[in-house]
Structure 1
Amino acid sequence: MQMSEFNQAIEAAKRQQRRMLLWLGLGFIVVACFVAAALIASRATPIQVLPETINQDAQINVSRGLALIIDHHLYSLSDSAEVEASAPGYQTAKQRISESSFGKVTQITLEPLPAQVVLKTSLEDNKTSWYIDKKLTAISNTLETSLERGDYSITASHPYFEPISENYALKPGDVVEKTLSMTPISGELSLSTQPAGAAVSIDGEEVGQAPMSTSLPGGRYSLQIHKAGFETITDSIDITQTAKQVSRQYRLQAERARVNVSVSPVGGTLTVNGIDTPVADVIKIEANQDAVLKYKKSGYFSQSQRVNLKQGESTDLNFELKKEMGKVVIESTPQASVTISGKAIGQTPLNLTLDALPQTIRFDLAGYRSETRTITPTAKSTSSVSVNLLTEKQARLQEAPRSYKTYAGDEMQLFTANDTIIMGAERSEAGQRANEFIRKVTINRPFYAGVHEVSNQSYAQFDKSHSGGPNLPATSVSWLEAVRYANWLSQAEDLTPVYKINGNSVTHINDQADGYRLLTEAEWEWLARKAGRSAQTVFVWGNDKTIPPKAANIADESAKGSVTHYVPRYNDGYAGVAPVKSMKRELSGLFDMGGNVSEWTHDSYSLTVPKQGRTYSQTLDTTLVDEHVVKGANWRSGTLTELRASYRDGASQPRDDIGFRLGRFVYGGQ
């Protein structure tokens, strides 16, 4: 019978499928043979897991690379392989095996995992002490710890229970979880009273009369001992491992009287017969005796009450204090605004009635320093508060020290003159120069002046490259470098700098600043000729042309031959520059204005003739020129002209006989 075309097609498909399966089977056999040949061709690498006790149980797997593990041997088709070894109770470890190690025994050491121990008690007071091998490890209801393998003795100890000790042989990775059942200790309480027969209650339950003994498990207990006609005694005891036998003896006190106290306002102080007593609803007092109870609180009139009660008797006392007020008169000069405890009240003068409590009174007036006073008014008398307000300048002057040392170490002295100086000299004065113009200047702004010229030691803190004897005046310093030093010192002391310097020039002078500066020419001349004197003088030491001993370091006999002019029959002890303060203190209280080195001043050097009849004020010259006024004689000075205090010169370059002295206003502004 001939098959249909459809059946013929199905039969053909089946034959084709059988042929495909045959070829796949042959391919698998070829690949298997190839792999087997490769494995045989490669060298087997034995893997040993340490410690040896876990080698047989360890699991080894390939984690990276084309390789197989067969019976703890690595067969690798790649250049290297990474294997992972694991065993129960040990940390998993990985190790890379390179081609150079193929065929050799590879050891992988596993680190043991710690055993986890969790021991609990049924207690909840966190007083259980846990000891591991007799060493205190924790105080808690539960012990949670990790331990290395080994043998351990673990003890749980509680003050009220018998200790429990258990031994554990721990292996790596062990987990021990257990709840320990603790047995209360057994103790005994022995109790007696005088007089005997008092009822005894333990934790609120009456258990007998004293004297008595009773067995108690470990724990803390509240005792009450009460007997008619006597005060109840309350006490507590502990039955513990170290104190299983507890003995108590009580002497009963006769029952006292009771005072039920109420107070208003609260927060005061209660005394009984002069002894401070905590304010409570019930106060116990001795029976059949006078007792004075006093209640007091700040701002209120205190109140006292006397009682005498029989044994066991009680009474009620109520203290209601009345607020105490006091009259206060508040005045100020000049008139000012007043705030009391932060609340604005009005303008002085004021007549007020205030609570008898500490009152903080503040006085404020624009332009004046605020003042604060604290008083406690009283009903017994009128209190008064009176203040004289100072302007901010007056206050700062009052606070200003008479002298102080600068940040760099030089001393400054305060001058508070209200005076005038006639600067310069008349044509008729011997030695007078044409540039010594007559000028009248008022000196009325408080200012500080350096007690001596700035020393090398001080200046070198600003300019590290500067050298010279530490106590000698700083010389060969330009006017610009001198004012740079003044600005540096101002900034170091948080004062407002006077000079604004841009590059190598001063671009602005702040005449309202309180920082350091050079003395003005007028200040310098006032200090040299008028300060500390009843009338101004020609020379620093006075009007006598004969120089007193040690009055100034000038060109003396020792300078003969090294200077053009010298002063005969005078010897100051120094042929050249001298350390600061080597000569006598001058009438102003300063040193070395009459000699040693000449000094830069703040002022620009000018030959402008002052206006006749005009009085100039003590202000800072704000003109900006290269040449500045130099004042004072120096160790090279030997003529009458140079030794006079009115002598002035102009300079623009530093010299080895010019130094500088600092000044500063006590406060900024006019």
Structure 2
Amino acid sequence: MEKIDGDEKVQSPIDPIIPIDFIPNNEKGPRVTYKFKWVHLLIGAFAIISVTAGWFVLTAKSVFVEIDPITAQIEIEGGFKVRLGQRYLIRSGSYELTLLNDGYHDSVTQLLVSAEQSQTHPFVMRKLPGIISIASDITDGARVQIDGVDIGLTPLNGVLVESGDHQMTISKERYLDYRETISVEGRSVVQRYQASLEPAWATVSLSTVPAGADVLVDGEIFGTTPVNAEILQGRRDLTLKLSGHKAWQDDFDVIAGQDFTIPPVQLEPADGLVFIRSNPSAASLTIGGDFKGLTPLEVALAPGQNHELTFFKNGYHSKKTTIRTQPNQERELNLELDPVLASVSVIAEPVDAELYVNGEFRGLANQSIELMAASQQIEIRKAGYVPYTAEFTSRPGLDQIIRVTLKSLEQARQEQIKPVIATAAGQSLKLFYPSAFTMGASRREAGRRPNENLRDIQLERAFYISYREVSNSEYRLFDSEHSSGIVSGVTLDNEAQPVVRVSWNQGALYCNWLSGQEALPPFYQVNEQDEVVGFNPQSSGYRLPSEAEWAWVARTEGSGNTVRYPWGDQL
């Protein structure tokens, strides 16, 4: 080894390695041996148990199973558990819990132990039903209901009812309902109940003079007088009937348990029954001056005395008669009434018209006829004419005439047509019945134009035409953007001025629009480009007047005379 320090060099001494002889050790060490002893086993088992117990104590939960009732037996299956007083040490998980107690339903349920260190699990056991017996002290066969459920008729024994409060109702015909709230102990405990039913009737004493009358309460027979009838409570209708006597009837209130007596009832002899008819029927009838109704009718009359009957009917002479009846007698009376007649002359056009009176054919209309002095329906008919119908009352002692001129169907139709109508736009149109006229002008007339040839015109259909031209305001209801323009600086576009700058096609479309406003069939047939391509001559809608119609209207006076010019014959 050398050490250099600056310029100095030092030489260290070296130990030499010397070999030696090696001799291995052949000697054997001591052998270890184990001898079994019971104490060692006990110590091991105790150690395992201690470790396991410690692990269980550290991981188990403290569980309190709270049972109602507290006397119940508890069995927990499904794992290891340790009971310490009222608590169990048991690990988390699901266990089967069995609860047993006398008087309660056995219960098997699931016990879920959570991860909480200390926990309580309450359980309530359900009681066994109670055993009850029910009887009524007055009568058997009363119907028993528990909480509205029918359980049978008394007496009842060994009826199972769940514990708790229940509403018991006991009912029997002719008795007041018995109601009681019962508390059932349950747990198979036997309980007995005794019900006392109160009568729902009162005893009513009845007697009549003479005796032997049938007693009916609400239509049900209870016997014959004299009688002590047990009548149910409430508002009751009492009727007493005896042959040959009038029935006696009254209403009264019966209160259960409060007996009472009705004073003796004097029964009157029965009326005689008379069925009265008259010819004709529907005659008014009075008996002794009192109105009884219209025949036919049935009336009851007091027996043993005379009754004056008077019959009245419009158009007939009144008639009187007298009748006498016996008690409980039935008889009939038929009476014929005599009509009051008056002569009436009928004059009708056409002369071959037929006459009907109250729908009955009486011959040709032109005749003198006897009519009752009452309202009669007079009808005069002829084919092709509108029938005449009227109510007529003849007056005896007076000369009376019925004059009728029947209208033909065409005449009646024309009369139904309105002389003036109004459009949806507010224009007024007047009805005209045109006639034949000559249209055009003679060659010798001044101002004649080449196309104004004379020709005969026959207009056959009536038509309406407006009193004036269509105004701007009326046309703008159809075309709101239309303008009639200006001429020589003067406007033609005021609302009341006639509309101008309108083509014939636009006028036709305006007429179709008016028809649509009133749901009338359009006169003009129009294609998709709003061009008129035809017309419907049978349409009742609006249209433009033809040239002939316009000329006839312009040249015809109110008297029907045709003039040369709209203002007259002089140019």
TM-score by length of 1: 0.40
Structure 1 or 2, whichever has the larger Rg, is 2
TM-score by length of 2: 0.46
Which protein, 1 or 2, shows the higher relative CO under an 8 Å CA cutoff with sep ≥ 6?
Answer: 1
More strand by share: 2
